[in-house]
């Protein structure tokens, strides 16, 4: 298992060459990554941690994790000094949950500017007596574009969501969609950047399939 206290450590798991594709998890102090790293280990996907700009050079693709408050998460990310480097990345990069929201232009949570990689906004669900907020549970997700991220994942597969804010739907950037109160982007895609609102590491076999697909993009 990766020692999160060792910035220079990249995990090479049994049977996998340390010279093969590796995922760098961008660490900025927002969220527990245990379930993510546990999933990568189950799948024999090598990974390590990105703390500094030079750490980016060790990896072939990146994951931006995140849970909690998007505005606070963006503030923590800015404090790392990694924002310019992240925005300039040319390798596959995946934002998960709040990590996806960081890729948008603005979040209603904290009235905060985000990375502005995707020109869409993160908005709050309008809860009511029928639909509770936060949205917690399994939703069917429908792919809207062909992309290797969803290879071998059937239309309507269930993924696990926990969130109070959603990415406004825009067909130009929506890779897959779902509905809760309103239709929204379950995943987005632009060039080498991907985002998923659900938690693939908690979504069973199809979540693991998605992580495996990302490791091969």
Q: Is the dihedral of CA 56, 60, 63, 64 positive or negative?
A: positive
Residues in the chain: 217
* The two structure tokens encoding residue 32: 């527990």
The half-sphere exposure of 82 on its side-chain side, counting CA atoms within 13 A, is 23
The DSSP 8-state label assigned to residue 10 in this structure reads: B
Q: Which residue has the tokens 């931006």?
A: 64
Between CA 58 and CA 97 the distance in angstroms is: 24
Between CA 185 and CA 104 the distance in angstroms is: 12
Residues 6+ apart with CB under 8 A from 4: 27, 33, 49
Candidates 106, 117, 49, 114; CA nearest to 77 is: 114
Enzyme catalytic residues:
97, 199, 201
Candidates 161, 99, 103, 173; CA nearest to 134 is: 161
């Amino acid at each position: 298992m990766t020692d999160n206290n060792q910035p220079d450590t990249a995990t090479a798991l049994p049977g996998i060459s340390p010279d093969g594709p590796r995922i760098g998890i961008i660490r900025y102090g927002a969220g527990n990554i245990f379930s993510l790293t546990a999933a990568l280990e189950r799948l024999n996907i090598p990974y390590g941690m990105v703390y500094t700009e030079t750490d980016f050079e060790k990896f072939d693709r990146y994951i931006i994790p995140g849970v909690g408050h998007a505005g606070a998460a963006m503030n923590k990310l800015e404090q790392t000094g990694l924002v310019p480097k992240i925005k300039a990345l040319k390798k596959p990069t995946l934002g998960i949950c709040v990590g996806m929201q960081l890729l948008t232009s603005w979040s209603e949570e904290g009235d905060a500017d985000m990375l502005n990689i995707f020109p869409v906004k993160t908005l709050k669900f309008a809860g009511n007596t029928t639909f509770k907020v936060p949205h917690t549970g399994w939703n069917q997700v429908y792919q809207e574009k062909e992309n290797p991220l969803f290879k071998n994942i059937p239309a309507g597969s269930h993924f696990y969501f926990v969130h109070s804010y959603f990415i406004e739907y825009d067909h130009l950037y929506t890779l897959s969609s779902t509905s809760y109160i309103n239709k929204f982007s379950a995943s987005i895609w632009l060039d080498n950047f991907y985002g998923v609102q659900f938690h693939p590491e908690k979504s069973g076999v199809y979540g693991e399939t998605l992580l495996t697909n990302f490791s091969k993009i």
